[in-house]
């Protein structure tokens, strides 16, 4: 298995299938619990994030987190940034075809063009983005 000798490998979560297309996921380090449901367009209740929703949200949160890591060292704060995430499913086989993300930065954030280019590069090469299939179209709008 790739990465078995990596010092950063550890169990991330325990997952229990609860029935009725719902899973309970417990984060090992913090004990935080999230649940997932199948979406209503795939025989589910849609009462929780679907597994594919969590993939899209993981991308958005990874993008802003990696950007925030960089800006903290620059004396800038991305707090208050709002993100809208839209998932587009396709069939044959059923999968995520595209993810649209709109980042709306606070009006108080003042960046020059070089800083904006740097942050966009960081976001677009975050670990989740690098882990997605190249078949998934990712459309990002940066509203500075």
- Burial letters for 62-92: b for 16+ Cβ neighbours within 10 Å, e otherwise? bbbebbbebbeeeebebeeeebeeebeeeee
- By CB atoms closer than 10 A (0-12, 13-18, 19+), residue 136 is middle
What integer pLDDT is reported at residue 2 of this predicted model? 58
- List the beta bridge partners of residue 65: none
| CATH 3.30.300.20 domain range(s) in the chain | 1-49, 50-143
CB 110 within 8 A of CB 127: no
Instruction: Render pLDDT for 77-97 as a digit per residue (tens, 0 to 9).
Output: 999 999 999 999 999 999 999
1 confidence band (pLDDT: 50, 70, 90):
low
CB 16 within 8 A of CB 23: yes
Span 50-143: which CATH code? 3.30.300.20
- Checking if the pLDDT of 5 tops 80, the result is no
Share of the chain above pLDDT 90, in %: 92
What pTM does this model have?
A: 0.91
């Amino acid at each position: 298995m790739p990465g078995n000798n990596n010092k950063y490998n550890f169990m991330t979560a325990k997952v229990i299938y609860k029935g009725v297309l719902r899973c309970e996921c417990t984060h090992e380090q913090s004990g935080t619990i999230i649940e997932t449901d199948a979406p209503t367009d795939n025989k589910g209740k849609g009462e929780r994030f679907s597994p594919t929703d969590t993939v899209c949200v993981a991308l958005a949160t990874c993008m802003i987190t990696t950007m925030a890591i960089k800006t903290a060292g620059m004396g800038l704060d991305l707090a208050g940034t709002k993100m809208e995430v839209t998932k587009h499913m396709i069939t044959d086989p059923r999968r995520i075809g595209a993810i649209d993300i709109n980042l709306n930065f606070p009006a108080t954030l003042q960046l020059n063009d070089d800083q904006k280019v740097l942050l966009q590069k960081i976001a677009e090469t975050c670990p989740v983005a690098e882990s997605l299939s190249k078949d998934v179209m990712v459309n990002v709008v940066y509203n500075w």
